[in-house]
């Protein structure tokens, strides 16, 4: 599943580490998700969306992998 975390994060002038702090996860988690190592949990997805000021549906590109 694709995501636009890096895009919105940079638009807010946040580093991976700062976003991680705001979401109470490690920097590696943010990095891994941005680089598509794995998808976040639903909880973290909502936390990320809230922190970045977008909806979950807008933050994640739901391709036809379903």
Chain contacts with DNA (rule: CB under 7 A)? 10, 15-18, 24-29, 31-35, 38-44
What minimum distance in Å lies between the beta carbon of 56 and DNA? 13
The site partner of 57 among DNA, a second copy, none (C-beta below 5 to 8 Å per kind) is a second copy
Q: What tokens appear for 15 in the block?
A: 């580093």
The single residue among 2, 15, 26, 62 that binds a second copy, judged by CB under 8 A, is: 62
Question: In angstroms, rounded to a whole number, what is the distance separating the alpha carbons of residues 30 and 65?
Answer: 22
Strand-pairing partners, residue 61, are 2
Nearer to a second copy, 22 or 31 (CB): 22
Torsion angle defined by CA atoms of residues 44, 23, 9 and 29, in that order, rounded to the nearest 10 degrees? -70
């Amino acid at each position: 599943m694709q995501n636009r975390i890096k895009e919105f994060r940079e638009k807010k002038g946040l580093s991976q580490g700062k976003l991680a702090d705001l979401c109470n996860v490690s920097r590696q988690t943010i990095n891994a998700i941005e680089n598509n190592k794995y998808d976040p949990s639903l909880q973290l997805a909502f936390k990320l969306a809230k922190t970045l000021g977008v909806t979950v549906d807008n933050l994640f590109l739901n391709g036809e992998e379903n």
